[in-house]
Amino acid sequence: DAGVIQSPRHEVTEMGQEVTLRCKPISGHDYLFWYRQTMMRGLELLIYFNNNVPIDDSGMPEDRFSAKMPNASFSTLKIQPSEPRDSAVYFCASSFAGGNGANVLTFGAGSRLTVL
Amino acid sequence: AQSVTQLGSHVSVSEGALVLLRCNYSSSVPPYLFWYVQYPNQGLQLLLKYTSAATLVKGINGFEAEFKKSETSFHLTKPSAHMSDAAEYFCAVSEGIQGAQKLVFGQGTRLTINP
């Protein structure tokens, strides 16, 4: 299994531009999570999906952020327009809610976003 | 709402010494608890998890953690540090069956190993 695949690994863009981050979860996993990591705020859960349906988006910071999961093998996180304070590492993670209910997340390598 | 506090943003130990990383949690229901490790420029990897079975949990790379309900703690230990243990460590909590899908992470502890 190739694990959770994220692209791009690095993105440098200018303020005001649209940014799209992509994620391919592990096949068979039914949960997908988007996290943001910064020095100041640590790891923050932005949104998560179950069976492609958004369950909790309370962590999405503003309307500039949106996430979709059109099918079980693909998700996007979009920022439009981007701002310098959006600079962070964005992680996608997926999991399968097994019988004991413990949700073990498998993380991708992350997408490092720099907004100038 | 559940929360996690990791005491010490940086911990430094000598190679071969005991590693102790502290984690305290807050949860209104019996929690599931996790430790993850992050190496530079990588995603997080699961070290170990507690899911209401044995209170002493063994993980990968010689790490273990003990769930202490009376102290609301889940500290991570390793008897003898190795240079390859240098990384950032995150404690995380999720609440029971209904909330098992949502993890809340601590701020992380950066572990440095001195030769």
- Three-state SS string across chain B, please? CCEEEEECCEEEEECCCCEEEEEEEECCCCEEEEEEEECCCCCEEEEEEECCCCCEEECHHHCEEEEEHHHCEEEEEECCCCHHHCEEEEEEEEECCCEEEEEEECCCEEEEEEC
Question: Has residue B36 got a pLDDT over 70?
Answer: yes
> Does the structure show a pLDDT above 90 at A110?
yes
* Lowest-confidence segment of A87-96, B17-26, B51-60, B72-81 by average pLDDT: B51-60
Please tell me the distance in Å from A54's CA to the nearest CA on chain B. Answer: 12
Q: Which residue of A has its CA nearest to B109?
A: A42
Average pLDDT of the residues of chain B: 90
Q: What does pLDDT average to over chain A?
A: 92
Q: Does A99 touch chain B (CB under 8 A)?
A: no
Chain B interface includes A88 (CB < 8 A)? no
Over 70: is that where the pLDDT of B98 sits?
Answer: no
**CB B43 to CB A93 under 8 A?**
yes
Per residue in B51-92, pLDDT tens?
A: 877 889 999 999 999 999 999 999 999 999 999 999 999 999
Percent of chain B's residues with pLDDT above 70:
94
* Chain B contact set for A43 (CB, 8 A): 90, 105, 108
Interface test with B, best of A103, A106, A111, A112 (most B CBs within 10 A): A103
